[in-house]
């Protein structure tokens, strides 16, 4: 062994402190899923529990496509982010990314196509204000999941911190959007696209960017 | 995972779990056990033999800083391999950035490419050697240290006994002069 490496091994071993391992992926996901349920309860409380969204779901395939797509983006994004923060979880990362991509395609392409060519296209006037309210609500509902997901990524050891942060934020945003979509009574293609899909996803992605500074400084602090 | 036998995997996993609990002795055993494997792994991926030991040390530091991300119910090998691969990738990326930053664009496209091609398999071509010899000594030294010996600007500056900024200027002028000399030759 070369002398500097020998010294390094000795100093690492002598300065060793006990560490608390990161919680397992499944437990983290279950926790975030629980937060999603809390957000759903909160949204129902805020907007009033109504059966109308379920009636919409049964009569509009676009509504269902968007909902399933958002759910896939939420689960896939969070799986990819949480697995990406732990070395050696490549398969889980790839599965999460694939699920996220498929979900985004389903919500944006298939859902959008069905909505804009179906009866929803001529529905209620797509007031930008209503879309803004839904997008903001989706982001607000996704915040608890985002805090947990981003916190996990910052605590972990991601090979690609920015990609993990983006995936976590978009997954949490999609979770909030999923809940918003379930509780919204509007039947309008443009409203769904702007307020339930694109607004929350892009908003969440933008919110993730400042966290990269935290990720960098955290890594530097641990390296010091 | 191919590079940890079942026995080694079990031993390393036990030591890693003990290390997470703060057992320095187990940790030292673990790191010593890993060193030959890491040297082989890094040696196969890092082009400069002189950098292998530095990258191995970076891998050891990464193992140390990321040790809280290992879960005892999961195999140790893939975790270690991912940590080592990330450290190697970090090194290769920073090397790439260093090369691009330290070379002026036109030199990177021209002279540096020629130098890299010329020096690796069969040494400098007579044209390049004679052009290098015609450079002022300071510029020649800067080009040789950075391009032929593959040192970073900081290392090369230390070796030449000048500040890094001054060495960069010399190297820049050297590349420009070399380009001129080589172009002159081509015209003849």
Residue count (chain B): 188
Q: Over the stretch A163-179, which tens digit does the pLDDT of each residue have?
A: 999 999 999 999 999 99
Q: Take residue B41 and report the two structure tokens written for it.
A: 């792994």
The Cα of B87 is separated from the nearest Cα of chain A by a number of Å equal to: 9
Least confident stretch, A67-81, A105-119, B74-88:
A105-119
Which of B60, B71, B88 should be substituted to probe chain A, the one whose Cβ sees the most A Cβ atoms within 10 Å? Answer: B71
- Pick A8's closest partner by Cβ from B25, B57, B75: B57
Q: Cβ contacts of residue A157 below 8 Å, gap of 6+?
A: A85, A86, A87, B62, B65, B66, B69, B83, B86
The Cα of A18 is separated from the nearest Cα of chain B by a number of Å equal to: 4
Cα B51 to Cα A6, A151, B43, B141, distances in angstroms: 16, 34, 9, 21
The residue ranges of every structural domain in chain B are 6-98, 103-187
Cα-Cα end-to-end distance for chain B: 58
- Pick A21's closest partner by Cβ from B23, B32, B68: B68
ipTM: 0.78
CB pairs under 8 A between A and B: 90
Which of B3, B50, B66, B94 should be substituted to probe chain A, the one whose Cβ sees the most A Cβ atoms within 10 Å? Answer: B66
Which of B34, B69, B78 should be substituted to probe chain A, the one whose Cβ sees the most A Cβ atoms within 10 Å? Answer: B69
Which whole number is the average pLDDT over A171-197? 89
CB atoms within 10 A of CB A115: 26
The Cα of A71 is separated from the nearest Cα of chain B by a number of Å equal to: 27
- Pick A18's closest partner by Cβ from B20, B71, B81: B20
On the 0-12 / 13-18 / 19+ scale of CB atoms within 10 A, A72 is buried
The rounded distance, in Å, linking the Cα atoms of B140 and B129 is 10
pLDDT for residue A209 is more than 60: yes
Contacts of B67 in chain A (CB under 8 A): 19
Contacts of A153 in chain B (CB under 8 A): none
Which whole number is the average pLDDT over A190-196? 89
Contact call for B20 and A88, based on CB within 8 A? no
pLDDT at A219: 63
Which whole number is the average pLDDT over A56-78? 88
pLDDT at A91: 93
The rounded distance, in Å, linking the Cα atoms of A41 and A163 is 30
Fold of B6-98: Rna Polymerase Sigma Factor; Chain: A (1.10.1740)
| Residue-by-residue pLDDT tens, chain B, 188 positions | 467 888 888 899 999 999 999 998 999 999 999 999 999 999 888 888 888 888 998 999 999 999 999 998 899 999 999 999 999 998 888 887 776 666 554 554 555 555 555 544 445 667 777 888 888 888 888 888 887 777 777 888 888 888 777 787 788 788 778 877 777 765 55
Q: Over the stretch A9-23, which tens digit does the pLDDT of each residue have?
A: 988 888 889 999 999
Q: Take residue A55 and report the two structure tokens written for it.
A: 């009636």
Q: What's the gap between Cα A197 and its chain centre? A: 12
pLDDT at A200: 92
Query: Measured between CB atoms, does A91 come within 8 Å of chain B?
Result: no
CATH 1.10.10.10 fits B103-187, yes or no: yes
Contact call for A1 and B35, based on CB within 8 A? yes
Query: Measured between CB atoms, does A222 come within 8 Å of chain B?
Result: yes
Q: Under the phi-then-psi rule, with left for phi > 0, alpha for psi from -120 to 50, and beta for the rest, what region is A41?
A: alpha
Contact call for A88 and B28, based on CB within 8 A? no
Least confident stretch, A9-18, A115-124, A205-214, B16-25:
A115-124
Query: Measured between CB atoms, does A224 come within 8 Å of chain B?
Result: no
pLDDT at B123: 56
Could you give the residue ranges of the DSSP H alpha helices within chain A?
A: 3-14, 25-47, 52-59, 61-84, 90-104, 111-117, 128-155, 161-183, 189-191, 199-223
Contacts of A90 in chain B (CB under 8 A): 78, 82
CB atoms within 10 A of CB A7: 12
């Amino acid at each position: 062994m070369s002398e500097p490496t020998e010294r390094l091994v000795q100093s690492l071993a002598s300065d060793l402190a006990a560490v608390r391992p990161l919680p397992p992926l499944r437990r983290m996901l279950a926790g975030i899923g629980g937060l999603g349920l809390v957000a759903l309860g909160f949204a129902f409380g805020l907007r009033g529990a109504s059966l109308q969204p379920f009636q919409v779901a049964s009569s509009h395939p676009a509504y269902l496509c968007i909902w399933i797509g958002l759910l896939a983006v939420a689960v896939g994004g969070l799986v990819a982010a949480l697995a990406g923060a732990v070395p050696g979880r490549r398969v889980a990362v790839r599965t999460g990314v694939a699920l996220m991509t498929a979900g985004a395609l389903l919500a944006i392409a298939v859902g959008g196509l069905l909505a804009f060519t179906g009866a929803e296209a001529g529905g209620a006037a797509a007031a930008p204000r209503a879309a803004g309210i839904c997008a903001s609500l989706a982001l607000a509902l996704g915040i608890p999941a985002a805090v947990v997901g981003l916190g996990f990524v910052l605590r972990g050891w991601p090979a690609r911190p920015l990609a993990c942060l983006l995936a976590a934020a978009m997954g949490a945003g999609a979770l909030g959007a999923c809940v918003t979509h379930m509780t919204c009574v509007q039947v309008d293609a443009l409203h769904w696209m702007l307020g339930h899909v694109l607004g929350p996803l892009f908003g969440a992605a933008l919110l993730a960017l400042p966290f990269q500074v935290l990720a960098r400084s955290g890594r530097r602090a641990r390296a010091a | 995972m191919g590079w940890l036998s079942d026995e080694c995997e079990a031993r390393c996993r036990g030591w890693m779990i003990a290390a997470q609990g703060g057992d320095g002795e187990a940790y030292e055993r673990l790191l010593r056990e890993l060193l030959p494997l890491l040297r082989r792994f890094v040696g196969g991926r890092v082009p400069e033999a002189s950098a292998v030991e530095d990258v191995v040390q970076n891998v050891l530091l990464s193992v140390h800083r990321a040790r809280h991300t290992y879960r005892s119910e999961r195999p140790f090998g893939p975790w270690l391999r991912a940590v080592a691969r990330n450290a190697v990738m970090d090194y290769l990326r920073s090397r790439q950035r260093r090369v691009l930053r330290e070379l002026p664009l036109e030199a990177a496209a021209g002279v540096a490419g020629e130098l890299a091609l010329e020096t690796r398999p069969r040494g400098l071509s007579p044209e390049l050697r004679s052009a290098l010899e015609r450079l002022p000594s300071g510029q020649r030294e800067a080009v040789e240290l950075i391009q032929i010996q593959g040192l970073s600007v900081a290392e090369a500056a230390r070796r030449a006994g000048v500040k890094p900024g001054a060495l960069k200027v010399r190297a820049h002028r050297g590349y420009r002069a070399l380009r001129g000399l080589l172009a002159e030759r081509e015209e003849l």
